[in-house]
């Protein structure tokens, strides 16, 4: 058995550890900052949301289609839920992005997981925003009111 003894190391680094570098920008700093700020705002938004929905008045028993419709008729709650949607989605997405970055072992895996993540985030944010602003509790199609027991008869 032959063994080759390598020449002494001098600043030789295995390729795995070599930093590819090139990322001068502040993206990671801003992402870090966003996590802190959105986290604080989300605590207020989510506990406000839970209090109003589950504790105030009749509490959990009052929640139904009409309750949600009533809330979204008010621009204040529209804005509240919109902020909650966007902040929670971006906060969560950034967290999962970090986890993917840390745990994905292959670059291809990392890329695909992130594509799936960003696609899902985009769909949910767009759809959610659309619902908050275009929500109509009494939809009418072709002059006929769609079924649902919450709207007064025309």
Partner 1 sequence: MSAELAEPASKIELPAGVGGGGEIPSFDVTLRVRRYNPEVSEDATWDDFKVTMYGTDRVLDALHKIKWEMDGSVSFRRSCAHGVCGSDAMRINGRNRLACKTLLKDLDTSKPITVEPIKGLPVEKDLIVDMEPFFQSFREVMPFLINRGHEPTKERLQSAEDRERFDDTTKCILCAACTSSCPVFWTDGQYFGPAAIVNAHRFIFDSRDDAGDMRLEILNDKEGVWRCRTTFNCTEACPRGIQVTQAIAEVKQAILSRKI
Q: Give the footprint of partner 1 on this chain (CB under 8 A).
A: 1, 3, 9, 11-14, 16-17, 19, 21, 23-24, 26-29, 31-33, 98, 102-103, 105
CA quadruple 80, 85, 86, 88: dihedral positive or negative? positive
| Contact by Cβ (8 Å): 41, 83 | yes
Closest CB 14 distance from partner 1, rounded Å = 6
CB of 21 to partner 1, least distance (A): 7
Nearer to partner 1 by Cβ, of 1 and 141: the residue is: 1
Q: Which is nearer to partner 1, 15 or 154 (CB)?
A: 15
> How near is the Cβ of 46 to partner 1 at its closest, in Å?
22
Nearest CB to partner 1, comparing residues 27 and 76: 27
Q: What is the rounded distance in angstroms from the CA atom of residue 73 to the CA atom of residue 70?
A: 5
Least separation in angstroms between residue 35's CB and partner 1 is 10
Distance CA 106, CA 109 (A): 5
Give the position of tokens 């997405």. 93
- Of 10 and 142, nearer to partner 1 (C-beta) is 10
């Amino acid at each position: 058995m032959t063994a080759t003894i390598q020449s002494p190391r001098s600043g030789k680094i295995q390729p795995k550890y070599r930093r590819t570098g090139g990322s001068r920008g502040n993206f990671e700093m801003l992402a870090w900052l966003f996590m802190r700020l959105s986290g604080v705002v989300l605590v207020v938004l989510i506990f406000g949301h839970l209090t109003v929905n589950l504790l105030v008045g009749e509490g959990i028993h009052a929640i139904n289609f009409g309750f949600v419709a009533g809330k979204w008729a008010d621009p204040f709650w529209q804005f509240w839920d919109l902020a909650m949607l966007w902040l929670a989605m971006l906060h969560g997405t950034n967290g999962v992005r970090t986890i993917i970055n840390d745990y994905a072992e292959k670059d291809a895996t990392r890329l695909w997981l992130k594509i799936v993540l960003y696609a899902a985030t985009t769909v949910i944010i767009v759809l959610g925003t659309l619902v908050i602003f275009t929500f109509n509790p009494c939809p009418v199609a072709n002059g006929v009111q769609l079924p649902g027991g919450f709207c007064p008869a025309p």
